[in-house]
Amino acid sequence: MTLLTQLRDIVGDAHVLTDADTAKYDHDWTGNYKATPIAVVRPASTDEVSAVVKACAASKTAIVPVSGNTSLAGGTYGKDAVMISMERMNDIREIRPDARIAIVGAGAVLSSIHEAADAHDLVFPLTFGAKGSAMIGGALSTNAGGSNVVRYGSTRGLCLGLEVVLPDGQIMNLMSELHKDNSGYDLKDLMIGAEGTLGLITSAVVKLFPKPRAYATAMVAVPSLPDALTLLNDLQAATGGLVEAFEYMDAVYIEDHLTMFPKARAPFEKRHDINIMVEVGATAPVLTDPLSDGTVPLVTLLENTLAEMMEDGRVVDAVVAQNDSQRREMWERREAAGEVMLIRQPMINNDICVPVDKVATFFELIDARLAKLDPKAIHTSVSHLGDGNIHFLLFPTKGDAAHIDILTEAVEDVVLSLGGSFSAEHGIGLTKKPSMARRKDKVALAVMRAVKAAIDPDNIMNPGKVLPQTN
């Protein structure tokens, strides 16, 4: 019996796609990685995933998991592999309002989880531009961050439990609903961020939070990035730590956004170099219940705080959303980054993180390096400024591999000199393997390779991703 015959017996003919039928899956979102897989298999249950993995393991056939396929790092490149799509495992099994948890399948789309939580006046706070197609299994596999990390933490911090199919097909049940469990090694956290190289996440228990009864959202311009950090800290103090999002967009990004979306409005009447989208959310009635004049105390608090900062020069411009439409407009501007980033080529997509008080230093140092290496290069940045995660997009004047490597290493040099990381939330995939080889602690790499060899001795689970080859 051939492997394809076995797979069809497990999931049904309609859910084993080959040749031209795999076109939806054979490339990543950027289009930089394209390959026709052996097949795309779409199981509907954990038992089917287990059976598919066992069949592949018996023939030592590579397996590549795929969720919403919004990867920016080549993590779903599937040449000579069976791709296992989680799209049919999209059930939101249970919402437990009192425990504030949701139990979901790996194929559940983020926006679907948002809607299910919203029906119970709760939120699942993981959000980013691809929320309408990205699936929770992929977000867990890359430990995605998103725009609300400043208040709620990254995906790892939002997950209580997992179910994982291991490379030999065994099902590992880590579906804990506990906030404390000190019974041995934390295998859940090992699987989160492993990008499918150690096993396939099939289900998860995720945390929910009370839905804010009111939001206050604004676009704010400040004189400098250190002033932006002061703004964040002052807003946290003024609101009691209620800042949910604190997103930076530079002037080049704003201009590119207006070029790509000509019907969009500029955030301010004047051009500013440093544009911050800030959102504050509250549940307490004293901040959320409208007063007799119709004003919302939370919005007034943000307006008054920004007004005080404008008086002493810490803020140079501000626009506070007065309704849901204006709030959505602010979010749409930020969440269009994935599309706006493709406006120029060639492009180097740096997903980096530095300590929050060293963001300005990063830009100063990298500008000095670029002035010597490629003075006419253009760069633009959007950033989850509240946690130091910078999406630093560099558009060099030459697209040859050698030049791109030189510039990439320059960025790495600066980032590591500041105690930062060359990968913040997009994962390693294929794109950042050279960076792993150059920059990751050698002992840490050796431990990672030992873990991979122990769990996946035949190297069938998303092979060639994350870990660089040994010299």
Query: The CATH number of the domain where 75 resides is what?
Result: 3.30.43.10
Is the residue at 414 inside a domain? yes
Give the per-residue pLDDT at 222: 97
CA distance 90 to 135: 8
Half-sphere exposure of 401 (CA within 13 A, CB side): 2
Mark whether 196 and 222 lie in a shared domain: no
* Residue 40 domain flag: yes
Is residue 277 included in any domain, yes or no? Answer: yes
Is residue 168 domain-shared with residue 237, that is, in the same domain? no
Give the domain range for residue 67.
3-85
Name the token pair of 353.
Answer: 């993180």
Contact present, 462 and 74 (Cβ < 8 Å)? no
CATH code for the domain of 183: 3.30.465.10
Residue 457 lies in a domain: no
Asked if 243 and 386 touch (Cβ cutoff 8 Å), the reply is: yes
Residues in the chain: 471
For the whole model, what pTM was predicted? 0.94
Domain end, chosen from 314, 337, 360, is at 337
CA distance 171 to 455: 13
- Tokens 């510039």: give the residue: 407
Distance separating alpha carbons of residues 379 and 253, to the nearest angstrom: 9
How many independent structural domains does the chain possess? 4
Q: Examine residue 331 and state whether it is found in any structural domain, yes or no.
A: yes
Residues 12, 49, single domain; the answer is: yes
Name the DSSP class of 120. T
Residues 224 and 268 in one domain: yes
**Short-list 220, 223, 233, CA closest to 357:** 233
Tell whether 243 is covered by a domain.
yes
Whether 125 and 185 share a structural domain: yes
Beta bridge partners of 95: 102
Taking the chain (471 residues) in consecutive chunks of 10 residues, what is each chunk's mean pLDDT? 94 97 89 91 98 98 93 89 98 98 98 98 94 95 91 95 98 97 95 97 98 98 96 95 97 97 96 97 97 96 95 96 96 94 91 96 97 97 93 95 96 97 92 94 97 98 94 61
Among 404, 426, 448, which residue terminates a domain?
Answer: 426
80 plus 98 within the same structural domain: no
Beta bridge partners of 243: 280
**CATH number for position 283:** 3.30.70.2190
Q: What is the predicted pLDDT for the residue at 1?
A: 66
pLDDT of residue 470: 76
The answer to whether residues 222 and 184 belong to one domain is no
**Are 139 and 174 found together in one domain?**
yes
- 419 within domain boundaries: yes
Establish if 416 belongs to a structural domain. yes
Give the Cα-Cα-Cα angle 394, 412, 230 (nearest 5 degrees): 80
Backbone φ and ψ for 72, nearest 5 degrees, come out as -110, 5
SS3 436: helix
Cβ burial, residue 50 (10 Å; 0-12/13-18/19+): buried
Can you tell me the distance from the alpha carbon of 76 to that of 64, in angstroms, rounded to the nearest whole number?
Answer: 6
Q: Is 267 found in the same domain as 250?
A: yes
CATH of the domain at 349: 3.30.70.2740
pLDDT tens, residue by residue, 318-371 = 999 999 999 999 999 999 998 998 889 999 999 999 999 999 999 999 999 999
Q: Which of 282, 311, 337 is the last residue of a domain?
A: 337
| Whether residues 31 and 78 fall in one domain | yes
81/115 same-domain check: no
Both 401 and 365 in a single domain? yes
**Residues facing 82 on adjacent strands:** 39, 63
